[in-house]
Structure 1
Amino acid sequence: MTAGAAAPGGAADGVQSLERAFLLLELMAEAGGEVAISRLATDSGLPVSTIHRLVRTLVSRGYVRQLPSRRYVLGPRLIHLGEFAARMLTTWARPHLTWLVDAIGETANLAVLDGDRVVYAAQVPSRHSMRMFTEVGRRVHLHCTGVGKVLLAQLPAETARELLVRGGMPARTDRTVTDPDRLLAQLPLIAAQGYAVDDGEQEAGVRCVAVPVPGGSSAGAISVSGPAGRLGLDAVPRVVPLLQTAAAALAAELREDGVPLLSAPSS
Structure 2
Amino acid sequence: MSERASGERYRVPAVMAANAILEAIARAPDGMTHTELVRELELSKSSAHNLLSTLESLGWVRRDPRGRAYRLGGGLVRLGAFAVRQVDALALAMERTHEIAGEHHLTVIAAQPLGRGDVEVVAVAFPGDTHVGISLGTRYSWFDGAVGKVLLSLESQAAAEQLVRERARQIPAHTERTLTEPDALLADVEHVRSVGYGASIGEYRSNNAVAVPVRDADGRLAAVLIAIGFPDQLTRDAIPSIGHTLRDVADAITAECGGGALGERKVQAQNVAGTAAKEHSR
How does the TM-score come out when normalised to structure 2?
0.52
The one-letter amino acid paired with 1:248 is D
What does residue range 62-211 of structure 1 map to in structure 2 within 5 Å?
91-115=91-115, 117-164=117-164, 165=166, 168-204=170-206, 206-211=207-212
Instruction: Indicate conservation of the 8 Å contact 2:211/2:246, yes or no.
Output: yes
Partner of 1:16: none
The CA distance in 2 between the partners of 1:162 and 1:138, in whole Å, is 26
The one-letter amino acid paired with 1:195 is Y
The one-letter amino acid paired with 2:212 is V
The CA distance in 1 between the partners of 2:127 and 2:110, in whole Å, is 17
The one-letter amino acid paired with 1:109 is I
The CA distance in 1 between the partners of 2:115 and 2:121, in whole Å, is 14
Root mean square deviation of aligned Cα: 2.6
SS in 2 for 1:149: helix
Instruction: Indicate conservation of the 8 Å contact 2:208/2:229, yes or no.
Output: yes
Instruction: Indicate conservation of the 8 Å contact 1:110/1:122, yes or no.
Output: yes
Partner of 2:220: 217
Q: For the pair shown, which has the larger CA radius of gyration, 1 or 2?
A: 2
Distance 1:124 1:203, change over 3 A: same
SS in 1 for 2:221: coil
User: CA-to-partner distance for each residue in 1:22-62, whole Å, 9 max, x for gaps?
Assistant: xxxxxxxxxxxxxxxxxxxxxxxxxxxxxxxxxxxxxxxxx
How does the TM-score come out when normalised to structure 1?
0.55
Displacement of 1:120: 2.9
SS in 2 for 1:108: strand
Distance 1:89 1:237, change over 3 A: closer
Partner of 2:277: none
Instruction: Indicate conservation of the 8 Å contact 2:98/2:126, yes or no.
Output: no
Instruction: Indicate conservation of the 8 Å contact 1:97/1:246, yes or no.
Output: no
Identity %: 29
The one-letter amino acid paired with 2:102 is D
Instruction: Indicate conservation of the 8 Å contact 1:214/1:247, yes or no.
Output: yes
The one-letter amino acid paired with 1:137 is G
Instruction: Indicate conservation of the 8 Å contact 2:110/2:225, yes or no.
Output: yes
The one-letter amino acid paired with 1:212 is P
Instruction: Indicate conservation of the 8 Å contact 1:119/1:137, yes or no.
Output: no
The CA distance in 2 between the partners of 1:93 and 1:170, in whole Å, is 29
The CA distance in 1 between the partners of 2:117 and 2:247, in whole Å, is 22
SS in 1 for 2:173: coil
Give the gaps of 5 or more residues in structure 1.
1-87, 257-267
Distance 1:90 1:195, change over 3 A: closer
Instruction: Indicate conservation of the 8 Å contact 1:108/1:223, yes or no.
Output: yes
Give the gaps of 5 or more residues in structure 2.
1-87, 260-282
Instruction: Indicate conservation of the 8 Å contact 1:125/1:133, yes or no.
Output: no
Displacement of 1:122: 2.6
SS in 1 for 2:177: coil
The CA distance in 2 between the partners of 1:250 and 1:139, in whole Å, is 23
Instruction: Indicate conservation of the 8 Å contact 1:120/1:134, yes or no.
Output: no
Alignment: residue pair count: 168
